[in-house]
A and B are shown apart, each in its own frame.
Chain A
Amino acid sequence: MATDITQEPALGEINKYDFVTPTTAVFKAEKGINAEIVAQISEMKNEPGWMRDYRLEAFKIFESKPMPKWGGDIGLDFQDIYYYLKPTKEQGKTWDDVPQEIKDTFDKLGIPEAEKKYLAGVKAQFESEVVYGSLKEDLGNKGVIFTDTDTAVREHPKLLREYFGKIIPSSDNKFAALNSAVWSGGSFIYVPPGVKIDFPLQAYFRINAEQMGQFERTLIIVDEGAEVHYVEGCTAPMYTTESLHSAVVEVIVKKNGRCRYTTIQNWANNIYNLVTKRAMAYENALMEWVDGNLGSHLTMKYPAVYMMEPGARGEILSIAFSSSGQHQDAGAKVVHCAPNTKSRIISKSISKNGGRSSYRGLCKVEDGATGCKSNVVCDALILDSDSRSDTYPYIEVEEQDVQIEHEASVSRIGEEQLFYLMSRGLTEAEASSMIVSGFIEPLIKELPMEYAIEMNRLIELQMEGSVG
């Protein structure tokens, strides 16, 4: 564990990934950002001119956009961040090609185990680039593309360019613009019509260089009648200086397609996690976001589903856990653009040791989108009187014939519940931990097994020493 922590002592409990692996960075761009650095990043990656221009244009937008005025306090110095870091000379072709120190990091994260047991392809982003990727042959044979986004720019330019930045344009918000200017890595997935991938595709991300930003860019295209479940887990070691993670994730689910995107993020306490995630779901398609947020100094993340054609469905399950020095401003957006579309949002937040969780959600029904249904449930659990929870639901409905339900509840861990469990021999800490895991059970059971176990372990760690 880092010892030079000068902030609140509660930082010490943040997570088990408090280790730093020395890495041999081949290239580190200068600190800070300007048009020259943006162009240099593009050059380092040998990108085509259109992408370089795209980045430069986005950078202009970034400069012109003000900081968001809502959410949390973003105390970032954009000139004190590295925007690009390339860890190895070439992308590892096989496991043997992956450098030992990176393997060590993955060992600590338990990835090789997962690889052996479950994975067809591990796409692991180490710092700014994907360093290792393997894809099962039969997936390739079915026409599935699963690669890092940098590679996709080179190898699948036509397909990528058709969708890149179409769901989330650079002009969407300041951080989407920043990502568009300096993005690196991320996953590119294309699932051809009718292809159903029956195991989760996975990626692990990890920030591992002080003051380094992480700007992955993910694009998923699920063609008609196709299905995919994509899982990303994020963990980060702890540092004392500010650090920024700002990803953009775009998903397109075409007619009758299904996509589930699962994220479990456990950031170090100093990370600003400002992510834009949006999906467009077409006729009878289903898009599901399962989003778990732990750690970070400030998280602002509102996965969105735009239901573009009749019968489209959007489901968002989100959970936030905030402790001392942490503010989770998380939520969801559902936009009903077509008739007979359905959405469901379940949000659960837990605040303890002075942590703050907010649910910020939007439910929008456009004119003419008749027969829509939307159900929003947000439950907050507050563990002590120093902690805080807020709910900001925005509902914009331009159509009469709709059915919208919103339920919100805030509860404190009840003395009665604690007493009941303690009267059965559980310690106060065990009892709190059990109440919390019960609270998030509806989300946990949606996770793939190994993530469910990991999530429970993270919650247990977060709960340790939380009661007196």
Chain B
Amino acid sequence: MVETLKITDLHVAVEGKPILHGVNLTINRGETHALMGPNGSGKSTLGNAVMGHPSYEVTGGSIELNGENILAWDATQRSRAGIFMAFQRPMAIPGVKMAEFLRHATTNVRNPDRKEGEELIPMRQFRKELTEKMGQLRMDPEFARRYVNDGFSGGEMKRAEILQMAMLRPKFAILDETDSGLDVDAVKLASESIAEIGGDQMGILIITHHDKLLERNAPDFTHVMLGGKLVETGGVELAHELYTEGYDRIRAAYPEAAAAGEAMTEASAV
């Protein structure tokens, strides 16, 4: 049976303010979906809601993983069940080394029933795997000894997120603008890495403004979000269109969503 992440009529509010107004999206493991849309349309909100961020209140609808409603699960449970999000702006954790953090994370995700204080993956095994993955991402070995996202450049942060995905091998991954802040070479490398670890192993949702990341990760579906709703779904050609033409056609076609989107953007600007 194909594993599925199914989002049904999802309504999400942040600090009491509605952002998503009924999102429907089904991702099968092995598929690549692109999610595009103007700034402030609710793309990151969707990602955070799926990952279980406590500030994103689900006010209606459901998120199901293989038929099971996961709304009551916290981020820990969701992560251990195979959901991953590469963040647009990952948090710095000063004083905590990447390697130590990743060893805990990797152990927990691979062994979801692990209790606190139980054994971690053996150091040698972990080191070997980490070094290998870092090599593939052309990361300096010194990186493992740096503090998590502390003083990282934009590119380093994004690469670190990809590294985490490679180590955690999730079933479903949301990549939130993983291409922003990367130069052309880095985007290429990131695409290759995603394609390499992704392939048919993951269901991927790529949130992006560009089509570069999609070059080597050709989406099976492209969705457009506007004013907290998915207004249109197409194939890879839709992604190219949006990248080159912008969102004018979409706004014109869906004036109600466009108006809602503008209201949201203004409200957040105040």
Give the residue of A423, A435, A439 whose beta carbon is less than 8 angstroms from that of B75: A423
B208 within 8 A of A: no
CB distance from A409 to the nearest CB of B (A): 11
B109 near A421: Cβ-Cβ < 8 Å: no
CB within 8 Å of A: which B75-134 residues: 75-76, 78-80, 84-85, 87, 90-91, 93-96, 100-101, 104-109, 112, 116
Output the least CB separation between B121 and chain A (Å). 12
B107 surroundings in chain A (CB, below 8 A): 425
Is A414 on the interface with B (CB-CB < 8 A)? yes
From A415, A422, A437, contact of B96 by CB (8 A): A437
Do residues A420 and B87 form an inter-chain contact, with CB atoms below 8 A? Answer: yes
Q: List A residues 429-461 near B (Cβ within 8 Å).
A: 429-430, 434-435, 437-442
Could you tell me if B94 and A439 are in contact, using CB atoms closer than 8 angstroms? yes
CA distance A348 to B40 in the complex (A): 38
**Interface presence of A23 (CB below 8 A):** no
Which residues on A sit within 8 Å (CB–CB) of B55? 415
Known: A415-B55, A427-B116, A434-B104. A422 touches B94 (CB 8 A): no
Q: Is there an interface contact between A420 and B90, defined as CB atoms closer than 8 Å?
A: yes
A423 to B107, CA, bound (A): 13
Q: Which of B23-31, B46-54, B221-229, B250-258 contacts A (4 or more CB under 8 A)?
A: B46-54
Interface membership of B74, Cβ < 8 A: yes
Q: Taking the complex as formed, is A117 at the interface, i.e. its CB lies under 8 A from any CB of chain B?
A: no
Whose C-beta in chain B lies nearest to the C-beta of A445?
B95
Q: Is the CB of B168 within 8 A of A425?
A: yes
- From B51, B74, B104, B106, A430 is in contact (CB under 8 Å) with B104
Q: Does A417 contact B (CB under 8 A)?
A: yes
Q: A78 contacts the other chain (Cβ, under 8 Å)?
A: no
A423 to B91, CA, bound (A): 11
A425 to B84, CA, bound (A): 9
Closest B residue to A431 by CB, please name it.
B76
Contact size range, B: 20 to 34
Residues of B within 8 A of A427 (CB): 76, 108, 116
Cβ–Cβ contact B95 & A424, under 8 A: no
Interface residue? A80 (CB, 8 A): no
A420 in contact with B91 (CB, 8 Å)? yes
Q: A420-B93, A438-B94 are in contact. Are A426 and B54 (CB under 8 A)?
A: no
Query: A434 is contacted by which of B90, B93, B106, B112 (Cβ under 8 Å)?
Result: B93
| Given A422-B75, A422-B76, A425-B109: A414 and B104 interface contact (C-beta under 8 Å) | no
Does the CB pair B54–A438 fall under 8 Å? no
* Interface presence of B164 (CB below 8 A): yes
By beta carbon, the residue of chain A nearest B80 is: A425
**Which of B54, B91, B105 lies at the interface centre, i.e. has the most chain A CB atoms within 10 A of its CB?**
B91
Per the bound structure, the CA–CA distance linking A430 and B93 in Å amounts to 13
A-B contact count (CB 8 A): 85
Residue B147 at the chain A interface, CB threshold 8 Å: yes
Determine if A54 is an interface residue (Cβ-Cβ < 8 Å).
no
The verdict on A416 contacting chain B, using a C-beta distance below 8 Å, is yes
Q: How far is the CA of A416 from the CA of B76 in the complex (A)?
A: 14
Question: Are A417 and B53 in touch, CB under 8 angstroms?
Answer: no
For B91, list chain A residues within 8 Å (CB): 414, 416-417, 419-420
A210 sits at the interface (CB 8 A) = no
Q: How far is the CA of A437 from the CA of B148 in the complex (A)?
A: 13
B93 touches A421 (CB 8 A): yes
Interface status of A13 (Cβ within 8 A of chain B): no
Contact size range, A:
20 to 34
Q: Are B87 and A424 in contact (CB under 8 A)?
A: no
- How long is the Cα–Cα vector from A435 to B104 in the complex, in angstroms? 13
**Least Cβ–Cβ distance between A252 and chain B, in angstroms:** 34
A428 to B105, CA, bound (A): 12
Q: Shortest CB–CB separation between residue A69 and chain B, in angstroms?
A: 37
A419-B53, A421-B101, A423-B52 given; A442·B76 CB < 8 A: no
Interface-centre pick from B55, B76, B79, B104 (highest chain A CB count, 10 A): B76
Are the CB atoms of A419 and B93 closer together than 8 Å? no
Rounded to whole angstroms, the CA-CA distance of A435 and B91 in the bound complex is 11
**Per a CB cutoff under 8 Å, which of B87, B90, B108 touches A425?**
B108
Provide the bound-state CA to CA distance between A236 and B80, in Å: 40
- The reply to whether B96 and A425 form a contact with Cβ atoms under 8 Å apart is no
Whether A428 contacts B93 by the Cβ 8 Å rule is no
Are A415 and B54 within 8 A (Cβ)?
A: yes
| Minimum CB distance partner of B76 in chain A | A422
Q: Among B79, B84, B106, B164, which residue has its beta carbon within 8 angstroms of that of A422?
A: B79
CB of B56, distance to nearest CB on chain A (Å): 10
Interface string of B157-195 (1 = CB under 8 A from A): 000000010001000000000000000000000000000
User: Are B74 and A422 closer than 8 Å at their CB atoms?
Assistant: yes
Q: Are A424 and B164 in contact (CB under 8 A)?
A: yes
Q: CB distance A438 to B79 under 8 Å?
A: no
Complex Cα–Cα for A441 and B150 (A) = 13
Task: Tell me the nearest residue of chain A to B110, going by C-beta.
Answer: A425
Contact status of A426 and B96, CB under 8 A, knowing A416-B91, A419-B54, A420-B91: no
Asked whether, in the complex, the Cβ of A438 is within 8 Å of the Cβ of B105, the reply is: no
Within 8 A of B (CB), among A63-104: none
Contact, CB under 8 Å: B96 / A434: yes
Q: Which residue from chain A places its CB closest to the CB of B93 in the assembled complex? A: A438
Task: Evaluate whether A434 and B101 lie within 8 angstroms (CB atoms) in the complex, with A422-B74, A423-B75 already known.
Answer: yes
| B71, chain A: closest CB distance, angstroms | 16
Q: Which of A416, A424, A442 contacts B105 (CB 8 A)?
A: A424
A419 near B75 with CB under 8 A, answer yes
A420-B87, A423-B79, A426-B76 as given contacts; A438 in contact with B53, CB under 8 Å: no
* Alpha-carbon separation in the docked complex, A427 to B105 (Å): 10
Q: Among B100, B101, B112, B147, which residue has its beta carbon within 8 angstroms of that of A424?
A: B101
Q: Which 9 A-B pairs have the closest CB atoms?
A: A438-B95, A441-B95, A425-B108, A438-B96, A424-B105, A422-B75, A425-B109, A420-B91, A425-B79
A-B contact pairs, 27 of them (CB 8 A): A414-B91, A415-B55, A417-B93, A419-B53, A420-B93, A422-B75, A423-B52, A423-B78, A423-B84, A424-B104, A424-B168, A425-B80, A425-B107, A425-B108, A425-B109, A425-B112, A426-B76, A426-B105, A426-B108, A429-B116, A434-B93, A434-B96, A437-B95, A438-B96, A438-B148, A440-B95, A441-B95
- 16 new A-B contacts, CB < 8 A, other than A423-B51, A424-B105, are A417-B91, A419-B51, A419-B54, A419-B75, A422-B76, A424-B79, A424-B101, A424-B109, A425-B80, A425-B107, A426-B76, A426-B108, A430-B108, A434-B101, A438-B94, A440-B95
Hey, which bits of chain A sit against chain B, CB under 8 A? 414-417, 419-430, 434-435, 437-442
